[in-house]
Copies of this chain bind each other. A is one copy, B any other.
Amino acid sequence: MSSQQDKQSRLDMLGSALDKSEIRQLRYMLNKGLRPVEAAKLLEKTPPKERELLWNLLNQENEGKILQHLGDDLQADILSRMDANELLVVTEGLDSDDMADILQQLPETVMKELLRIMDKQNRKRVEKLLSYPEDTAGGLMNTDAVTVRPDINIETVLRYLRRHTELPQSTDSLFVVSRKDSFIGILPLSRLLTADPQVMVREIMQTDLAPIPADKPAQEVARLFEDQDLVSAPVVDEQGKLLGRVTIDDVVDVIREDADHSLMSMAGLDEDEDTFAPALRTTRRRAVWLGINLITAFIASAVIGLFEDTLEQVVALAVLMPIVASMGGIAGSQTLTLVIRGQALGQIERSNIGWLFNRELISGVLNGTLWALIVAAVAVIWFSDLTVGIVIALAIVINLLAGAMAGTLLPMILKSAGIDPALAGSVLLTTITDVVGFFAFLGLATLFYG
C-alpha cells in the first residue's frame, strides 16, 4: 500500500535520531505497553514532530482506539490527513458513539464518503447517532443498553445474562422496556442480585428515574448525573422509545470540558486547544484575540488623548493613571468571574441578580473607599500635591463601582443575547473599566486644575 510505504519513509526520516532497538521499544510501548488512553495522553504532550513519529509507529488496529481519546483539535489534525478508506479501517471496531464522534470532526464530503462505504448495519447505527447534535443527550449516548421485559422473573433474567460473556462497560442497571421498546423502568444490578429469584421484574424495577430526552443539552445531563449520583441513564425519543444510554465516563468528559471552557475562554483560547500546536497555528489563533484587545486599547488611548492639555500641565497624572484603570479592572474581573461561575452552576436567576448587583455595589463602595484613601495618601506624599490625591480617590471609587456594575450585568446581558460571557465578558469589561477609569481620572483632573 503506498500510504504504508509513505509512512515508512516519513518514519525513517523522523526517527533517524533513534537507533533500531529504541524504535522497537517505542513501538512496543505504544501498541502493547500502554492502554489506548495513556498512549493518547502521551501523544498530546508531545511536540508535533515527535508526535508524528509516534503516530506512525502505531499499528493500524490501534489508531482508532487512540484517536477517540485525543482532544478535538489534535483529532481533527490527524483525521485531515486520512482519506475515507483509511478512515474506514481505523474506525472499524469502535463503539458506534465513538465512531459518530469521530465522524463529526470530518468535512462533509469525507463523512458522506465514509458512510457510503461502511457496512449497512454500522451505517444505520451511526446515522441515528449523527442525527443528534454532539452536545445533547443523543450525541452523548451509546446504543449498547441491555434490556429486559417486565413480565419475566428474576431467575429468567439471570439465566439470560449468563448467555452473555460480558456486559457492556458501566452497566449498573438493565433497562425494562415494553414489547414496542418503550422505556418502563430500570433494574439496578444491585437489586437484581439481592432479589428473590421468583419475583417478577415488574415488582422490583425502579420507575422513579425519569428517562432523559435525546435533545436534552449535555450540560443539563451532567448536572442530572451529579445531583443523583448516576452511573448510567436511559435516553428516549419523544414517544418514550428507548434509544440508548448515557454513561458516567461520557459525563465526566462533559464536566471537564465545561469547566475548562470558562478558564480558556476568558483568555480567548478554545478549551480543545492542543497545548503543543505548531507555532504558526498558535500565532494565527492568538492574533485574533490580540487584535480584538488592541481595539480596546486604542479606545482607552483615545480617551486619554482627549486630555492631552491637562497631561502636559500635570505630568503626575500620566504616572498615576494606570492605577485607576488597573484597580477597576481587577475588581470588575473578580465580579465577572464569580457571576460566570454562578451561571455555569445554574445559580444566577432573575430573582437573585438584583441582590447580587446590590452586594457588588456595596462591596465596590467599601473597597473603593478603602483603597482610594490609601492611594490618595501615597499620591499626595509622592507629588506633594493635595489635588491629585482628591482626584485619584474619587476616580478609584467611581471605577470600582463601574467594575462592579459591568461585572454583574455584562454576563447577564451577553447570555441573554446568546453570546458566550466567558469569551466576550473580559474584553468588554476591560474596555469599560479603562474608559471609565481614564475618563473619570483625567476629566476630574481637568475640572480641578482647570
B191 and A189 within 8 A (CB): no
Q: List chain B residues, Cβ under 8 A from A158.
A: 193
A371 and B294 within 8 A (CB): yes
Instruction: Give A355-384 interface residues, CB cut-off 8 Å to B.
Output: 355-356, 359-360, 362-363, 366-367, 370-371, 374-375, 378, 382
A195 and B269 within 8 A (CB): no
A193 and B193 within 8 A (CB): yes
B229 and A170 within 8 A (CB): yes
Q: List chain B residues, Cβ under 8 A from A107.
A: none
A367 and B286 within 8 A (CB): yes
Q: List chain B residues, Cβ under 8 A from A331.
A: 286, 290
* Nearest B residue (CB) for A195: B162
A322 and B334 within 8 A (CB): no
A28 within 8 Å of B (CB atoms): no
B300 and A322 within 8 A (CB): yes
Query: Which stretch of A86-94, A112-120, A273-281 is in the interface?
Result: A273-281
A19 within 8 Å of B (CB atoms): no
A26 within 8 Å of B (CB atoms): no
**Within the complex, what minimum Cβ distance (angstroms) separates A83 from chain B?**
30
Query: Which stretch of A7-15, A39-47, A97-105 is in the interface?
Result: A39-47
The secondary-structure label for the interface of chain A is helix
B338 and A293 within 8 A (CB): no
Instruction: Give A41-96 interface residues, CB cut-off 8 Å to B.
Output: 41, 44-47
B341 and A260 within 8 A (CB): yes
Copies of this chain per assembly? 2
B282 and A341 within 8 A (CB): no
Q: List chain B residues, Cβ under 8 A from A323.
A: 294, 297-298, 300-301
Contact of A231 among B44, B170, B342, B355 (CB under 8 A): B170
| Alpha-carbon distance A2/B169, docked complex (angstroms) | 54
Q: List chain B residues, Cβ under 8 A from A296.
A: 326
| Alpha-carbon distance A193/B166, docked complex (angstroms) | 9
A256 within 8 Å of B (CB atoms): yes
A322 and B319 within 8 A (CB): no
* Nearest B residue (CB) for A157: B193
A211 within 8 Å of B (CB atoms): no
10 closest Cβ contacts across the A-B interface?
Answer: A259-B259, A167-B190, A318-B318, A267-B337, A45-B347, A229-B249, A47-B355, A279-B362, A297-B323, A263-B263
User: Which residues of A are at the interface with B, using a C-beta cutoff of 8 A?
Assistant: 35, 37-38, 41, 44-47, 158, 161-162, 164-167, 169-172, 189-196, 225-229, 231, 248-249, 251-252, 255-256, 258-260, 262-264, 266-269, 273, 275-276, 278-280, 282-283, 286-287, 289-291, 293-294, 296-298, 300-301, 304-305, 308, 311-312, 315-323, 325-327, 330-331, 333-334, 336-338, 341-342, 345-349, 352, 355-356, 359-360, 362-363, 366-367, 370-371, 374-375, 378, 382, 430, 434
